[in-house]
Amino acid sequence: MWNSDVALGVWTCTTRLGEISAQKGSTTATGSMGGFWIGLWSRGGQSVVSLGKSGSWRLWNYDVDGQRWIEGIGISGHTKSVMDLAWAKDGSYLLSTGSDQTTRLHAGCANGQQTAWRELARPQIHGYDLNCIDTVGVFRFVSGADEKLLRVFEEPRGTAELLKKLCGVQNTLEREFPESASIPVLGLSNKAVEESPNSQPDQTAAMAGDTSLLLDDVGRHGEYTSRLPPTEDNLARHTLWPESEKLYGHGYEISAVAASHDGSVIATACKASTLEHAVIRLFETKDWREIKPSLAAHSLTVTRLRFTGDDQYLLSTGRDRQWAVFERNGADPHVFNLKAKNSKAHSRMILSACWAPVTAERIFVTGGRDKTCKIWDLQKPDNQLANTISESAPVTAVDMVPHAVRGSLVLAIATETGNVVIYFLKPISFMVESTSHLENHVRPFNSITQASWRPSLEDYGERPGEQGPDASYGRLALCSEDCSLRLFLVSFNGLQDANGT
C-alpha cells in the first residue's frame, strides 16, 4: 500500500500484505503465493481483498487499536477443472482434486444453528495434474495424477485437531499421528515432520526446508488452538498431509482409483490403448504390495472403478464400451475373479458407474457418451438390462444414495452440459417414480466430472427426528470442469411427492 508524500511529491510504500518467497523454485507449498491478480478496497477503506494464483480471495482488515492489517477468512477454491471427489467413509469430510494440481479437504463448521462448509486443509500440492482420488478409511487417501504411480497420504495431528475443534469430528482410532508435513523445494513428495519435545517451532520448520514459522494456531504437539478456519496462507503452507506410500506398476497416467469400504484393498487403472496396459491392479493396504495377477477385462482405458457396499464385487467400466464385474474370493479376500462382463453394454464409451444399496441385491448403473443411463441386474440370467434412462446429453457421472429412502432408490445423473437429474426408482422394477432437475442458476455450466452422495446413514437426517431410512434430506456433491465444487442439500420429500419434472 502506498501513501502520497505531499512535501516530497513522491509515493512511499507504507504496508506490504502477503509473503515474499525467500527460496528460488518455491511453490505455494514452500512459501510462494504466486502473486496477486487484482485488489479491491471496501467502501470504508477498512478492508481490502485480493485474488491470487492459488484461487482464493484473501482478506485483510485494519485493526485500529493495533495500527496494523490482520488477515481474515477469505474464499478459496480450485483454479482449474475439478476432476474427482471422495467422501470420507464416515462422511465427516469431503476431498476434491483437479487440474490445478491440488487436493483440498472440505468440512462443515458449526456456526450457531447453521453449518458452513469451508476448505479446512490442502493435503496435496503436486507438480502434475491430478485425475482421481479415493479415501482409505477415515484418515488416509490415495490419489492418481498424470504420472505412473499413485500416492498414499495420512492425516497429520494438526488436521485431526482442526476437524475436532471446528467440526466435532472425533477420531476414535488408536494410532500415532504424524505431527505435520512439508514439501522440499522442487520436490513432489510430502515429507513427515516429527517435532521433538525440546525443539522450537522455527527449528522444526528449518529442518523441513521451510523458511517460515509453523502454523501459529497449531500447538507444540499438533493441538489446534484457534476457533476460526485456516487462512489462505495457512492452507497453502501448513495443512499438507505426509505421504506414506507410493504404488508402482502402471505404464501410463493414472485414470481411476477405488478403495474398498473396509480399507483392505485398492483398485487402480491407467490410460491405455492396448490390452497390456488396460488391466486393473490391486494393492493390499497392510504391506502395500500388489496383488497378482492383475485383473484383465478391458482393451482401452478404464474410466471408473466401484466396490459394492459390502466389498464383495468390483465394477469397472471403460472407453471400450464395456463393463466388467469381479467377485471376491471367499477363501482369500485379496483375490477377485471375473464374474461377468458385457462387451456391448453401450454404443459409445462408458464414463461412469455406481452400485445400488446392498439391500437392493446386485444392481448397478452405467452412464455413457451415448446419452443413456442403464440399470443392470447381476442376479438375472445374462445380467439382464432392467431399465434404460435417456438423457439429452452424454452422461458423465452417476451415483445412487447408499441407502434406500422410504423403500425407493434415489439416483443422480449428471451430464456433459452440467445438467443434473435426480430420480426416484421403484425397488423391484426400477421404473421411474418421479424426477427433479437442479435449477439452471445453481448447477454447473460445464461438464460434470463426478457426483457423490454423502455416505453415512445418519447424515441424511438434517432435521430432528428425520434420520435413517425416513430422512427427508440428503447431501449431493458435484465437481465440474467449470472449476467448481458444489454441495447441495436435496429434499427427498418434495422429490418423492412430485408427479413429474
Full DSSP string of 391-436: -SS-EEEEEE-SS-BTTBEEEEEEETTS-EEEEEE-TTT--EEEEE
Chain mean pLDDT for the chain: 84
Range of weakest confidence among 101-115, 125-139, 274-288, 439-453:
101-115
Phi, psi of 319 (to 5 degrees): -70, -10
CA distance 402 to 368: 21
Is residue 83's pLDDT more than 60? yes
Is residue 389's pLDDT more than 80? yes
Residue type, 501: T
Adjacency order of strands within the sheet including 350-355? 350-355, 363-368, 372-377, 385-390
**Higher per-residue confidence, 181 vs 214:** 181
SS (H, E, C) 29-87: HHCCCCCEEEEEECCCCCEEEEEECCCCEEEEEEECCCCEEEEEEEECCCCCCEEEEEE
Residues 477, 256, 264: CA angle, nearest 5 degrees? 90
DSSP for 278-341, written as a single string? S-EEEEETTTTEEEEEEE---SS-EEEEEE-TTSSEEEEEETTS-EEEEEE-SS-TT-EEEEEE
pLDDT tens across 415-471, in order? 999 999 999 998 888 898 888 888 889 999 999 999 999 986 444 444 433 444 455
Q: pLDDT-derived band of residue 207, with 50, 70 and 90 as boundaries? A: very low
**φ/ψ bin of 229: left (φ > 0), alpha (ψ from -120 to 50), beta (otherwise):** beta
How do beta strands 191-193 and 180-182 pair? antiparallel
CA distance 371 to 415: 8
pLDDT at res. 274: 95
CA distance 114 to 423: 28
Mean pLDDT of 28-49: 78
CB of 125 within 8 A of CB of 102? yes
pLDDT at res. 501: 30
* Percent above pLDDT 70 for the chain: 83
Q: pLDDT-derived band of residue 9, with 50, 70 and 90 as boundaries? A: confident
pLDDT at res. 245: 93
CA distance 23 to 253: 30
The closest of 94, 82, 83 to 456, measured between CA atoms, is 94
Range of weakest confidence among 138-152, 183-197, 296-310:
183-197
pTM: 0.87
Mean pLDDT of 325-334: 90
pLDDT at res. 115: 79
The closest of 403, 476, 448, 371 to 87, measured between CA atoms, is 476
CA distance 268 to 296: 12
CB atoms within 10 A of CB 259: 27
Range of weakest confidence among 135-139, 172-176, 223-227, 345-349:
223-227
CA distance 355 to 398: 10
* Residue positions counted in the chain: 501
CA distance 367 to 38: 41
Residue type, 317: T
CA distance 76 to 68: 24
Phi, psi of 207 (to 5 degrees): -65, -30
Q: pLDDT-derived band of residue 495, with 50, 70 and 90 as boundaries? A: low
Mean pLDDT of 311-318: 96
Is residue 209's pLDDT more than 80? no
**Higher per-residue confidence, 400 vs 232:** 400
Q: pLDDT-derived band of residue 332, with 50, 70 and 90 as boundaries? A: confident
